[in-house]
Amino acid sequence: MQTRRLGNTGLEVSAIGLGCMGLSFAYGPALDRTAAVALLRAAVERGVTLFDTAEVYGPFANEELLGEALAPVRERVVIATKFGFAIDPATGRQAGLDSRPGHIRAVAEASLKRLRVDTLDLFYQHRVDPDVPIEEVAGAVKDLIAAGKVKHFGLSEAGAQTIRHAHAVQPIAALQSEYSLWWREPEQAILPTLEELGIGLVPYSPLGRGFLTGAIDESTTFDSSDFRNAMPRFSAEARKANQALVDVLGDIAVRKQATRAQIALAWLLAQRPWIVPIPGTTKLHRLEENLAAAEVELSSDDLRDIRAAADAITVYGARYPEHLQKLVGR
């Protein structure tokens, strides 16, 4: 597996990481724990070194899963986790945002225990909290870094000005935000800002939550607990309208003797040398398929054709329902 550096902080990881949320949260029933541990260890064996989780995935269950699975290979991996949501102890559900410095410290201590580590490799603010100045957030993480509790600071779904203000207090290693062929908004202001400041980008949902693989169409039904049911972009009408993008990927995949997923990931890797996508999966064959994307070489002509085709297609449907859309891009 090739490696890449996330920004100017010296954080080196595999060119493709693993998003772990779906193992225990959001996309239907959680994967059997034994199977999930086996998948995580298989990823390590295949060269993956960046594993992404968060306290809110489960909540808590995903961090505990990674703590168990990765303990034997701790020195070989980089584990990223997140703070920023309040979690109701009575219900275990999200209860708004909370990035107060005291809460950040408490989350860090709890995550260290669940992950069975002495230091958090990469600690992201999950969503920007409008009630807490970003300078205070960055300062709290700076203190955790000074105390040896955290190695690197990150933000998720933050706007360009927020990134600048935070970076001035504590250098940011990476921004985690959605970026793919069907969500290219980061190209407008985010990518230039990251390039200027020397910050890496970790795109989540690089395969459009599965849509870009071609495995989902207008007739697909999701488990009742799958949060795609609430996403406007996954309405049957939107899926039908957005099939044109999947068809284009299919044409290019045939030409390159690859899969749609591999083309979508290879396209992301080709955008900048400091981009590290984190596709998620619960299946070993999909993991292997995704990792093989790092070996797919797209020529300048290929990239031009992909961009021209994507530019010609209008993607329908908001990526989040309104109450969640308000939490991104701040």
What are the start-end ranges of the H helices in 55-133? Answer: 61-70, 101-115
Distance between CA 271 and CA 187 in Å, rounded? Answer: 10
89 token code pair = 């102890």
Distance between CA 256 and CA 251 in Å, rounded? Answer: 9
Distance between CA 232 and CA 177 in Å, rounded? Answer: 19
- Known catalytic residue at 57: yes
What one-letter code names the amino acid at 91? T
288 token code pair = 């292997």
Distance between CA 248 and CA 239 in Å, rounded? Answer: 15
- Using the structure block, give the residue that is written with the tokens 């390039």: 195
Beta-carbon contacts of 260 under 8 Å, excluding residues fewer than 6 positions away, are 212, 213, 214, 246, 249, 250, 253
137: left (phi over 0), alpha (psi -120 to 50) or beta: alpha
Q: DSSP letters along 262-295, please?
A: HHHHHHHHHH-TTB------S-HHHHHHHHGGGG
Element (H, E) at 203: strand 200-204
Nearest to 150 by CA among 161, 163, 137: 137
- Using the structure block, give the residue that is written with the tokens 């239907």: 28
Of 27, 57, 179, 204, which residue is the catalytic one? 57
Q: At what angle do helices 160-169 and 190-197 cross, to 10 degrees?
A: 20
| Rg, the chain, Cα only | 19
Residue 50, exposed/middle/buried by CB under 10 A (0-12, 13-18, 19+)? buried
Catalytic site residues?
57
